[in-house]
Structure 1
Amino acid sequence: MTMYSACASSDSTGTSSTPVGAVNVAATGQNRRVEVRRLGVGEYQPTWDLQEQLLADTLAVKTRNRQAAETGALPEPTPNYLLLCEHPHVYTLGKSGKPEHLLLDEVGLTAHAATFHRINRGGDITYHGPGQLVGYPILDLDNFFPDIHRYLRVLEEAIILTLAEYGVRAGRIAGLTGVWIDFEEGAANPRKICALGVKCSRWVTMHGFALNVNTNLAYFGHIVPCGITDKAVTSLEQELGRPVPLAEVQDRLLPHLSQLLGAEMYENS
């Protein structure tokens, strides 16, 4: 079992094996342990189904806890998960998105070996594909902080800090969720490197972030990314001029998420 803790000592890769300062669930009523699952490359629909199942299981625990509170029984800790994966070529449209922002018809999707899904996250259309690190946190924010805006900023900050380890300066653009390069006001070429889109049910999250690591950026040319017409997209590979192992990026990201959430992350062997 590998541990990533906000209070743990790290090795040279940023990972840690000593869970120092783990949260006492019985004392606080909060479970800040997060199970990390590295899923590898997987089709979009089964991964979405897994998210939905984990969400439903967590919500069922919260329902039982509400019923237990009426009898004075102790609450059952709610679980937290982080799914990390890559997808084959796929376009997803959020519930507030515009279908016309997909510029391919069925024939075009087939020609590009891509699929299309309408989903229940916020935001508009985006692309997922090989070489992109996708993270799906299924977290009960009651275990951390019940504030969806703060949660989005935490995800962004974890990405910003991870990119900084590669010497890439990234940040935010006011009014635009996500992480950007050349983000300062008046910059000549602002470009998005990480998209975010989440859903939250009774403070339990699903969906998450998509960080372009070694992504084929040509696929973004077939959509209006996130409904934004006047800004470009980029990848870590494009910024550095070399490919970067996705596993390495995952290893560098996890301690930042752990620190910012105040979480103890672990992976089962």
Structure 2
Amino acid sequence: MTLQNCKVIDLGTIEYGAAFQLQKEAVQEVMDDSGKARVYLLEHPPVYTIGRSGTEQNVLIGTQQMEELGISLFEVDRGGDVTYHGPGQLVGYPILPLDRFGNDVRRYIRMLEEVVIRMLSTYGIESGRIAGMSGVWVGNEKISAVGVKATPAKDGNRFISSHGFSLNVNPNMDHFSYIIPCGITDKGVTSMERLLHTEVSIDQVKQRWVKSFEEVFEATCKFAD
């Protein structure tokens, strides 16, 4: 089933807490009208977020050092462990009616991964999945993290997605060294610019991501004014 009314909203750079509140409001909107769909694209100021299966033990620095580095910390209601968001990283929060995809959260996660895989291929980056792990990988290095939440509607027959994905375009990679990303100790992280050895426009990445999203989700998207 296709998404015919998908609005893409480019928030620019926005604090994590403010974006989290926007997500909650959008979930209620889509819950009330399942014909709607929203995709927020944005960057965050530096922040570590810990998902439902995460632990602060995977954050390797204390509050004082985080303050010195200008990094905040949030515990959130998505799946997954600890991850980093910051300038130069594209973050996407699709707020979608998951009954269009059989209310199958694992299928939805695979679709989000597929969008990134296809988009990266337009830059000549060959990426894929690692069995038993979420996200998109280039070899043994993660370039895109995925963590989602599915909120049940009151009728119990539908779920609405929130949270989503992050894609390392050109973030400060040093900030990953202060955490155990996603709780995984034997894998690394990478970025598009590190792989391509050239500057990458995050605005261009947004456009290409939306095009791949339309292909994978059979969606018709329009950027909000």
1:217 aligns with 2:202: no
Where do 1:1-269 residues align within 5 Å?
Answer: 32-59=4-31, 61=32, 77-182=34-139, 190-202=140-152, 203-269=159-225
Structure 1 moving runs of 4+ over 6 Å: none
SS state of the match for residue 133, structure 1? Answer: strand
Q: Deviations over 1:87-136 (max 9, x none)?
A: 01000000110110011211011011010000000000000000000000
Counterpart code for 1:101: N
Counterpart code for 1:162: M
Deviation, structure 1 residue 268: 2.7
TM-score by length of 2: 0.94
Number of residue pairs the alignment of both structures matches: 219
SS state of the match for residue 221, structure 1? Answer: helix
Q: Deviations over 1:34-55 (max 9, x none)?
A: 1100000111100000001111
Aligned twin of 2:156: none
CA distance in 2, matches of 1:160, 1:228: 21
Q: Which runs of 5+ in 1 are unaligned?
A: 1-27, 62-75, 183-189
- How many percent of aligned residue pairs carry the same amino acid? 41
Q: Deviations over 1:178-236 (max 9, x none)?
A: 00001xxxxxxx10000000000121000000000011110000000000001110000
What is the Cα-based RMSD across aligned positions, in Å? 1.3
Counterpart code for 1:41: T
SS state of the match for residue 143, structure 1? Answer: helix
Deviation, structure 1 residue 78: 3.5
Q: Which runs of 5+ in 2 are unaligned?
A: 153-158
TM-score by length of 1: 0.79
